[in-house]
Amino acid sequence: MDATAKFVTIVAVAAFVTERIVATLDYLINAVRLSRSQSGIVVRMRRRERRKLVMFGIAALIAFAVVDRANLRLLRVLQIDKVHALVDFWLTWLVVVAGADRVRSMLGGGSAPQKPAEAPVVRLQVDGGEVRTLQRVS
């Protein structure tokens, strides 16, 4: 694998994992704060947060099964050999779980269908495995 592509991939995965860990910590901090209040609005918010937690648990179990059974390993694909197998497993699991969350949010998360943003049409010229040109087509 090209060193530049490997570097970009590692940076993207690290940023993705960092964002998801921070989002999880934010969720936990909010859950602790909500658990201390007893107003009606907060009780409804707690129910909604419990539902999120249950849905995350289901996604986590599915991702665990997929990563385990399909033998997916992110760092192995990137050819990073000096990492313990469990670190590779759990990092791959986290990327799969977080990716599922991001895909769900991009698809609207079960809410009313939204008009999709118009994607630009591009022309990509690849020569020998390298991108030569990328043009926006009007």
Q: What is the pTM for the complete model shown?
A: 0.56
Give per-residue pLDDT as tens, 25-83.
888 888 887 777 777 777 778 788 888 888 888 888 988 998 899 888 888 888 888 88
Mean pLDDT of the chain: 77
If one counts every other C-beta atom within 10 angstroms of the C-beta of residue 75, the result is: 19
pLDDT at 112 over 50: no
* CA-closest candidate to residue 17, choices 74, 76, 85, 77: 74
pLDDT at 108 over 60: yes
What is the Cα–Cα distance from 53 to 35, expressed in whole angstroms? Answer: 14
pLDDT at 90 over 60: yes
The structural domains of the chain, with segments of one domain joined by +, span: 3-112
Query: What sign for the dihedral angle of Cα 1, 119, 11, 99?
Result: negative
Query: What sign for the dihedral angle of Cα 72, 75, 78, 82?
Result: negative
The conformational region for residue 98 under phi > 0 = left, psi -120 to 50 = alpha, else beta, is alpha
pLDDT at 137 over 60: yes
Mean pLDDT: which of 70-84, 96-110, 122-136 is highest? Answer: 70-84
pLDDT at 84 over 80: yes
Bridge partners, residue 130, by sequence: 127
Residue 138 C-beta-side C-alpha neighbours within 13 Å: 0
